[in-house]
Amino acid sequence: MSNTLIGCLFWGAVLAALYAVRPNGGLNSLTAETAGRREKIVLLVLAAAVVLLCTLPMSLSPYWNGEFPEHRNQYELMAEAILDGRLHLEYDDVDPKLLEMENPYDTMKRIELGVSVHWDHAFYNGRHYMYFGIVPVILLFLPFRLVTGVTLVTYQATQIFTGLFIAGMFALFRLVAKKFFPSLSWAAYLSLSAAFSMMSVWYLVGEPALYCTAIASGICMEVWSLYFFVKAVWDSPNDRRAVLWGVAGSLCGALAFGCRPPIALVNLLAVPMLLRAMTPGIIALDEVALEEDAAAVRSAVGCGVTLLATVHAASLRDLESRPIGRDLLSSGGFRRAVIIEGRDRQRRVERLP
């Protein structure tokens, strides 16, 4: 699709949106509760237009659309690797000088020796590995390959995840508007949903392969995780339904860790929501590392919940020397520390004061 056509579609959509949300228009007199069939059709058309505007340009650049894949087709290669029963990416051009290096990640030494490498891979024991989360491969690349027999190009996966994210944003904003802002006009809801969707994915449009595939999949999982958690806490008619929505939110939040772990930190918002809706007996937290994590721990401790958490440290003394470690240990939520150390992963248990 040409740049001219995409430009026409973009500005046409902008003008149509501005006309639809004009101050004296009908959409400003309605809310999420009173919107009828016609307004919901407007919602679907606007959401579809935002999806098209954010995904169609991803196919334009040969650098990102698979014509010149270079190192950006790792998800595709990972799907083939799994089908072949291996976890490493198969390359037949590994530089022998790379194998001889004591530290193959020493950039200056590689330049000095003139070593050829595959960019942005993990290299271990003479094999290349993908260090990006494997969840997009499991969710999209493998099923697409098995069903169609054709390899899904990486930017196309980014398009799919982006489209699902935008749908999730519109769904989440509508749910929040109905529950907490019942007087918000339908025009304001549409404008906010479209604006926040486009602001969240603009950077994916220019570089839609590999790095942004991880980001797109992560934010897609997180927005639906938040949607399901909000449904569980504030929009479920009974406890059984709340548990089902909570399980769906937990699953999406967990999948986000296998897409882009930093994005999955949004899961911390789920802790107070879970405490409110489900009164759980145990809450497990992985990779506690930020002050926000410690705040979530303190919140859970105050509710009498049993906590299981993991944290990286060289030793218990090292953990105690860090602000986040002191915060966790002084929270009163932990009685024992299971320390896993050494290459043989030996475990020992220490009682905490």
Q: SS in 3 state form for the chain? A: CCHHHHHHHHHHHHHHHHHHCCCCCHHHHCECCCCCHHHHHHHHHHHHHHHHHHHHHHHCCCCCCCCCCCCCCHHHHHHHHHHCCCCCECCCCCCHHHHHCCCCCCHHHHHHHCCCCCCCCEEECCEEECCCCCHHHHHHHHHHHHHHCCCCCHHHHHHHHHHHHHHHHHHHHHHHHHHHCCCCEHHHHHHHHHHHHHHHHHHHHHCCCCHHHHHHHHHHHHHHHHHHHHHHHHCCCCHHHHHHHHHHHHHHHHHHHCCCCCHHHHHHHHHHHHHHHCCCCEEEECCCCCHHHHHHHHHHHCCCCEEEECCCCCCHHHHHCCHHHHHHHHCCCCCEEEEEECCCCEEEEEECC
Predicted pLDDT at 235? 82
Taking CA atoms, 80 is separated from 34, 38, 77, in Å, by 50, 46, 5
Residues 6+ away with beta carbon under 8 Å from 235: 175, 178, 179
Tokens of 180: 């907490």
Model pLDDT, residue 23? 63
CA distance 164 to 3: 24
Per-residue pLDDT tens over the stretch 200-228: 999 899 889 999 999 999 999 999 999 99
pLDDT at 277: 59
Give 336's strand partners.
351
Report strand pairing: 336-341 vs 346-351: antiparallel
Contacts of residue 330, defined as CB under 8 A and 6 or more positions apart, other chains included, come to none
- Cα gap 3→26, rounded to integer Å: 34
Contact indicator for 253, 233 with CB cutoff of 8 Å: no
Give CA–CA dist 227/221, Å, rounded.
Answer: 10
pLDDT value at residue 19: 62
**Of residues 182, 197, 192, 210, the one with CA closest to residue 58:** 210
- Within 8 A by CB and 6+ apart from 248, the residues are 224, 228
Share of the chain above pLDDT 70, in %: 88
Residue labelled with tokens 């099923």: 143
pLDDT at 38: 80
Q: Residue 167, exposed/middle/buried by CB under 10 A (0-12, 13-18, 19+)? A: buried
pLDDT at site 22: 62
Residues of the chain with pLDDT under 70: 1-3, 5-7, 9-11, 13-31, 273-281, 302-304
User: Which pTM was predicted?
Assistant: 0.77
